[in-house]
Structure 1
Amino acid sequence: MRFTTRVLLLQLITVVAVVGVSTGVFILLAVGQLKSETETSALSIARTVAAAPVVRSEVSLETSRQINPSAGELAAGPLQAYALDTTARTDALFVVITDGEGIRMAHPDPGQLDREVSTSFEEALRGEEVIAWERGTLGDSVRAKVPVFAPDSRQSVGEVSVGFARAGVFDELPRLLLGVGAAAALALLIGTGATLVLRHRWEQLTLGVQPEELVTLVQNQAAVLDGVGDGVIALDRAGIIRVSNTAAEEMFGLAHLEGMSLPELDLPEDVIASLSKGEERDGIVVGDRVLYLDSRQVDRAGQRLGSVIIVRDRTDMMGLSERLDSVRAMTSALRVQRHEFANRMHVAAGLVEAGRGTEAAEFLRTMRDRGPVDYPLAGVDLLAEPFLQSFLGAKSMEAAERGVQLQIRDESLVLGDVRGVEGTEDIATVLGNLVDNAVTAALEGPEPRLVEVTLLDDGPELVLVVADSGPGITPGSLGTVSTAGEAVPDRVHGHGIGLALSRDLLRRRGGDLWVIDPGGGESGRGAVFGARLPGVMLPGDDLREVNGSPRLKAGDF
């Protein structure tokens, strides 16, 4: 049996029991009230008759006489007339008057005159008032017996008995019972209707799920929400978050998501619009994380309950993707270097085999001074560090293919060497993102399209400055990467994903990435980004002057 059915039956039984008990109590009170009213009426009438002067004088006279009058004399006497008149006016069953010996002096049935009453009269003769339910010559009745006192005396000389038929006492009971029954039926009807309405509302609110099933649902919800690595956010039809798990709170960097709306999560308006339509969005930058959001509508029995958003953290995957791109760039640069170096070795070998030793020596000296590869990288001779030279050389080739000139500024000075694999990966990720975004921005700017890179090292720390000739960062295209209120644009400088990952990577290592100059506006300059990478360099000679010119150090920047 369904829980709602059991509740319905229990409520109906409760209503029936309450109505039944109330009806029974009401009937008992009504019967008691009718009996009390009848007894009170009989006693009042008896007192009135007993106090009448004619009754007191006639009864006192008869009690003092030695010979009782005959039934005929009594029937024609004043007491009989008075008693019959009182009986007719009060609708009583009888009004009986007796003398001190219990002989009837007045009775509705003249045949009973001059006879002793059939019920006890001793209490009245002792001066007591009695109310009793007894059977007499006229049948069952409730009767009141009061003493009759002699005139100007408290001596009891007779009694007056006034009675009402038992059946007449409850003449009003059927009408009362009918009213009580109607009230009880109405109460049952109202209780049943209220129970049915409550049952319907219950099932509407719980979608027909029973309490036993609700316990299972809560257990399953806790297991699902806390047992998966993805974030889960459940919204009601008004777009308010009602349920979320710990993973979602960690991804959004908030302690409690319940009661918040999507705009309060700092999501862009276009993302909120997509989620409202049940669409998925990837590459959403929220704080230091790159998130994938998938919205799904929730319906049950044709009724829309809201939506559920699945949140996946793509930061690590995007980071790996960025590192893979950097590795590919390095691989491409090394491949170009190997190919170019092999070609030059063939040239040198050919000159030696041809006996042209002087030309071969000159060719090798040129290779030593210029490097193994001719990159379209202006200022490449300012970089002696092999990895940085080859990496920026490869980037310069990619930029040249897109019509952008990559240049190393004269202020650059790198004396140390890149530290191992981890150092190369971090530099490739951060520097690669900054250069790629700057090239994209330069394509939006005027000719000549230029990207300038400044590199300075100070012990184990490397500082990068990347400037472009693009339109700068406009307020309408601001994203979310900054350290001092500035932001990374979405429209010009990529999607901001790589920059967010770079900043997250640097901050975890004690470094940072920031906007030095947003550019744009009346300045006519492009944006300038800065980055500080700690622990990526092996310190070299502490030279402060190159070719007679003073050089800046990282601490001077």
Structure 2
Amino acid sequence: MPALPRRTPLRFSTQTLLLQLAVVALVVLLSSAVHAWLTYERLGREAENQALTLARTVASDPEVRAGVQRISAGTGTPPPAQLLAGPLMAAAEGARTRTGALFVVITDETGLRLAHPDADRLGERVSTDPSEALSGREVTTRNTGTLGPSAGAKVPVFAPGSATVVGEVSVGYSTETIGQSLARDIVPIALTAAGALLAGTLVSFLLRHRLRRLTLGLEPEEISTLVHDQVAVLQGVDDGVVGVAADGRISVFNAAARRMLNQPDLAGTPWAAAPVPARLKALTLPDAAEGDAVEFLAGGRALVASARKALHGREDLGWVVMLRDRTELQELTRQLDAVGTMSTALRAQRHEFANQLHTLAGFMSLGQHRQAREYLARLAATGPLKFPVDQAQLLQDPYLQAFLGAKGVEADERGVTLRLGPETLVRGSVVEPQDVTTVLGNLIDNAVNAAVAGTAGDRWVEVEVLDGPGGDGAAGTLHIIVADSGDGLPADDVFAEGFTSSGRSARAGAGQGLGLALARQLARRRGGDVTVLERGTAGGPGAVFMAVLPGTIAGGDDPAANSERDDDV
């Protein structure tokens, strides 16, 4: 047996529309029914009051009172023919004809009809109970008699000049007349109901359209799944995610973004007023190129950001800004560059070392022992290896020696001489090599770039490094001064993100334009600073930078150690 085709469930918006229409229709029908019932009751009460008024009028007529007393006082009831031609019948029929009542009935004290629209009913007992009226009370009634259903009233007839009840008058109006009146009144009720139903239907369609726009046509199950996925993805990734809605407000600000930008949750904050770097906001400007990456500093971190438009079909949902932390990557890159530079320098010096050994071996094989001893003395005085940095022995720390030697080789390859200034003296050992490498390396790299781009014939970079005591047993302070032969600095803020001394614009994502800003932030985080002592002039000499790095050197203030190192120097 072939499987029956699976029924496609109605969409949530369609279900909502049908439910709204059903509710509107039910409310309109109930309201109309209640309104019609209240109208019917009002017309019935009006008919009862009108019947009561007419019954009182007939019962208070002197001729009616006298005629009823005369018949009641006699023996038996007159024959129908006599009643038909009597004054009571004439009075009752006259009142009924003038008012349009269904009936006007007059009875004696026993309930026998003395006047009735149907002559055949004269002399008979009334079909409804007359006991209340015959006991002296006025009542309104709704019942069905010989002439059909009616709304009426019963009023006692008193003997002239006495409180003795001698009969009663019963007046009734047909409920069919009430129905006819209701039919006339039902037209505006129906029109009102139809208008309310139409308005409700229109509003339901508008709500359905708005609901589909707000939910982007998604079903509740899909929305729930998306919410769970969003929470799992946004809180599970290491990248920062900032969502900017089409109305300019931040809709998403995940934990990674809060950590990178050092901000609380900014969801709901206008993007234009958010306390984030201006370069980050510039990514979402109308003229910004989608997908371009920019680097900037925030909270001591080097961040890379990019932004893309979020679209659903043709609907613009805003922007998605992605943040990536490149701080550790850049630090590792700088360390690898330093290691690679030193490796290159060592490979270059290996040939010189081999040549020195061959020379020494030649002296020995020729028996020229005096020349060999003199050659070894010169090697002992200058060192077996020679970096292109003079007076490297002023740096007692091997890490600084190796790093500056590697930077000297790198500068020499670009035609720049790296030299140590006359005030250089480091007697301690570096205890924070990563921070020192970051600051010193950035300053030297910028100075080399400036020297290469300068117009001076002699290209050089001079570095002075001096250690100082920290006090109270704390690590000492390293003072660094870097000067170059370039054409000086422009009037711009050289510590601003994006500035580069290479003569080329900073390329997004390449790490350029952040060195000086990152060096200053790192130094200030340690309680020091990086400042410009001289901005330099065109044609040289160039700029002079000074860096102060507290807590980065140890042993420099040890008198015994200093004495031994003074002897060595």
TM-score by length of 2: 0.80
C-alpha contact (below 8 Å) 1:103/1:116 kept by paired residues:
yes
What residue in structure 1 maps to residue 464 of structure 2? Answer: 454
1:529 corresponds to which of 534, 546, 549: 546
Q: 1:340-377 deviations in whole A, cap 9, x for unaligned?
A: 23323433444454555555444444444344456554
CA distance in 2, matches of 1:143, 1:320: 106
What residue in structure 1 maps to residue 271 of structure 2? Answer: 261
**Distance change in 2, residues 1:511/1:94 (3 Å):** closer
C-alpha contact (below 8 Å) 2:103/2:117 kept by paired residues:
yes
What residue in structure 1 maps to residue 501 of structure 2? Answer: 492
C-alpha contact (below 8 Å) 2:523/2:530 kept by paired residues:
no
Number of residues paired by the alignment? 537
1:541 correspondence with 2:561 = yes
2:358 corresponds to which of 321, 346, 358: 346
2:152 corresponds to which letter in structure 1?
A: R
1:338 corresponds to which letter in structure 2?
A: R
C-alpha contact (below 8 Å) 1:426/1:536 kept by paired residues:
no
Aligned to 2:265, the other structure's residue is in SS state coil
What residue in structure 1 maps to residue 483 of structure 2? Answer: 467
Q: Report matched runs for 1:113-132 at 5 Å.
A: 117=126, 119-132=128-141
1:184 corresponds to which of 185, 193, 199: 193
2:464 corresponds to which letter in structure 1?
A: T
**Distance change in 2, residues 1:337/1:200 (3 Å):** same
CA distance in 2, matches of 1:356, 1:337: 26
- Which stretch of the first structure deviates more once superposed, 51-60 or 85-94? 51-60
2:164 corresponds to which of 155, 162, 176: 155
1:413 correspondence with 2:429 = no
Q: 1:86-112 deviations in whole A, cap 9, x for unaligned?
A: 222211122233444555554445565
- Which stretch of the first structure deviates more once superposed, 330-339 or 261-270? 261-270
Q: Report matched runs for 1:503-518 at 5 Å.
A: 512-515=528-531, 517=533
Unmatched segments (≥5 aa) in structure 1: 481-487, 552-557
1:331 corresponds to which of 343, 364, 370: 343
- Which stretch of the first structure deviates more once superposed, 325-334 or 132-141? 132-141
1:202 correspondence with 2:211 = yes
Shift of 1:256: 1.8
1:237 correspondence with 2:246 = yes
CA distance in 1, matches of 2:485, 2:219: 67
1:13 correspondence with 2:19 = no
- Which stretch of the first structure deviates more once superposed, 58-67 or 321-330? 58-67
- TM-align CA RMSD: 3.8
1:37 corresponds to which letter in structure 2?
A: E
Q: 1:93-134 deviations in whole A, cap 9, x for unaligned?
A: 222334445555544455655666555544433323243345
Unmatched segments (≥5 aa) in structure 2: 1-8, 470-474, 507-511
What residue in structure 2 maps to residue 215 of structure 1? Answer: 224
C-alpha contact (below 8 Å) 1:337/1:372 kept by paired residues:
no
C-alpha contact (below 8 Å) 1:315/1:501 kept by paired residues:
no
Shift of 1:180: 3.3
CA distance in 2, matches of 1:143, 1:395: 120
CA distance in 2, matches of 1:354, 1:9: 112
Aligned to 1:492, the other structure's residue is in SS state coil
CA distance in 2, matches of 1:215, 1:341: 72
Aligned to 1:257, the other structure's residue is in SS state coil
Q: Report matched runs for 1:21-100 at 5 Å.
A: 21-64=30-73, 77-100=86-109
- Which stretch of the first structure deviates more once superposed, 139-148 or 115-124? 115-124
**Distance change in 2, residues 1:117/1:308 (3 Å):** closer
1:272 corresponds to which of 280, 283, 287: 283
TM-score by length of 1: 0.82
Aligned to 1:171, the other structure's residue is in SS state helix
Aligned to 1:24, the other structure's residue is in SS state helix
Shift of 1:205: 0.5
CA distance in 2, matches of 1:18, 1:270: 52
CA distance in 2, matches of 1:398, 1:467: 17
**Distance change in 2, residues 1:351/1:67 (3 Å):** closer
CA distance in 2, matches of 1:240, 1:144: 74
C-alpha contact (below 8 Å) 1:285/1:496 kept by paired residues:
no
CA distance in 2, matches of 1:318, 1:538: 30
2:165 corresponds to which letter in structure 1?
A: S
CA distance in 2, matches of 1:532, 1:122: 118
C-alpha contact (below 8 Å) 1:334/1:390 kept by paired residues:
no
